[in-house]
């Protein structure tokens, strides 16, 4: 490498590694997932409180080598949390968000490449009521109406957001 190119390249690498070093440790620690073949849709993560799961697949397209999307798990499921768009929510530790999970999925067709999905969580103030004598959390309509009338604002739900990044070199 020529000296004029090496210095900016080294500075960019150091800046990227410093940004990753500043990232908080995720709440969930997990090893990398099993390598996935191109075109095979797989589950990345279940988020039961949001009635969703994250599904992804390697596409084989150089412009967008991996895609993922949240999928509703069941029409009967009643969510206690929401999955929101990462770009609109702009999660950060300063805004009360927590890095919940880092999911790494290697590409079976290209071992030098992996998809990395970072899942962020913002705890809400809504909590289920304590269990009764039968071990069930019950909300009675009249009690809920009285509580809502006396509250200045409704309790907030927990929020989840995820961001996809591709790490490593693309294969030809």
pLDDT in tens, 52-102: 999 999 998 888 999 999 999 999 998 889 999 999 999 999 999 999 999
Number of domain units in the chain:
1
Output the six-digit token pair for 114.
Answer: 């992996």
Q: Which among 103, 106, 128 has a CA at the least distance from the CA of 116?
A: 103
133 lies in a domain?
Answer: no
Q: Are the C-beta atoms of residues 96 and 127 closer than 8 Å to each other? A: no
Per residue in 107-160, pLDDT (tens digit) is 999 989 999 999 999 998 776 677 888 888 777 788 778 777 766 666 688 999
pTM over 0.75? The answer is no
136 lies in a domain?
Answer: no
12 lies in a domain?
Answer: no
Host domain of residue 109: 25-127+142-168
123 lies in a domain?
Answer: yes
68 lies in a domain?
Answer: yes
Compute the CA torsion angle 125, 126, 127, 132 (nearest 10 deg). Answer: 140
Strand 52-58 relative to strand 42-47: parallel, antiparallel, unpaired? antiparallel
């Amino acid at each position: 490498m020529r000296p004029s190119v090496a210095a900016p390249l080294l500075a960019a690498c150091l800046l990227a590694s410093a940004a990753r070093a500043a990232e908080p440790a995720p709440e969930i620690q997990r090893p990398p997932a099993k390598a996935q073949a191109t075109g095979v849709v797989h589950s990345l993560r279940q988020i039961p409180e949001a009635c969703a799961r994250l599904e992804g697949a390697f596409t084989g397209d150089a412009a967008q080598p991996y895609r993922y999307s949240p999928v509703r798990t069941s029409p009967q499921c009643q969510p206690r949390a929401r999955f929101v768009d990462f770009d609109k929510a702009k999660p950060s530790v300063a805004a009360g968000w927590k890095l919940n999970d880092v999911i790494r999925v290697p590409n079976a067709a290209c071992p030098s490449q992996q998809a990395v999905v970072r899942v962020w969580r913002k705890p809400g103030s809504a909590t289920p009521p304590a269990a009764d004598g039968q071990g069930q959390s019950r909300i009675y309509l009249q009690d809920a109406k009285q509580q809502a009338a006396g509250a200045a604002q409704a309790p907030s739900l927990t929020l989840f957001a995820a961001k996809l990044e591709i790490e490593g070199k693309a294969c030809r």
